Amino acid sequence: MSQKTTTALCIIDVGIVLNKRDMARLLEDLSRVRYQELCGGNLRKKGDGYIMEVYDDPSCSTLVANQTLYLNVSSFEYLELGQCSSPEEPGLERPCFDLVQGDRILRLIPLTNPLEEQERSRKNSHLGSAIEDVLLDVALPDWDDEDDLDL
């Protein structure tokens, strides 16, 4: 009896993601985005915002308000990865994430670069460690010096 092995998909920059965990994984890496709501191909709303949370809960909504986005992957049938042109920079293609539900699309265009974000985070971590070391040197007395101890 032969056993059929399933190979996981490999999507690179362009494609359709159906698995909710994969959708969430992609969206969790985004932070600041430009969003557009498209209905039947027509632009209804647009703005810039920050993704606060990504989750998969059939009993909750996706919420976009006050420049914050709470994205529920259960609100959408699939996520389509692609490239879209920027109205501010004609000819420049940017990655875009289309969350599709029927003829309604929530398009997310990243405003941050994950490579730059990682580098900034790494530098801040090193800076934080250096500051912590200096504060410990200043705040803690030198306990090795027995002359300072009054017994």
- What's the token pair of residue 119? 């580098």
* pLDDT bracket for residue 145 (50, 70, 90): low
- What's the token pair of residue 33? 């985005």
- What's the token pair of residue 30? 């985004």
Give the residue extent of every domain in the chain: 15-112
* pLDDT bracket for residue 33 (50, 70, 90): very high
The share of the chain scoring above pLDDT 90, in percent, equals 60
* pLDDT bracket for residue 65 (50, 70, 90): very high
Neighbour count for residue 62 (Cβ, 10 Å): 17
End-to-end Cα distance, the chain: 82
Closest CA to 114 of 14, 11, 27, 54: 27
Residue 5: the pLDDT is 72
Neighbour count for residue 23 (Cβ, 10 Å): 21
pTM of the model: 0.73
Contacts of residues 118-127 at CB distance under 8 Å and 24 or more positions apart, as own/partner, are none
**Sequence-separated (6 or more) residues with CB below 8 Å from residue 141:** 148
Check pLDDT > 60 for residue 87.
yes
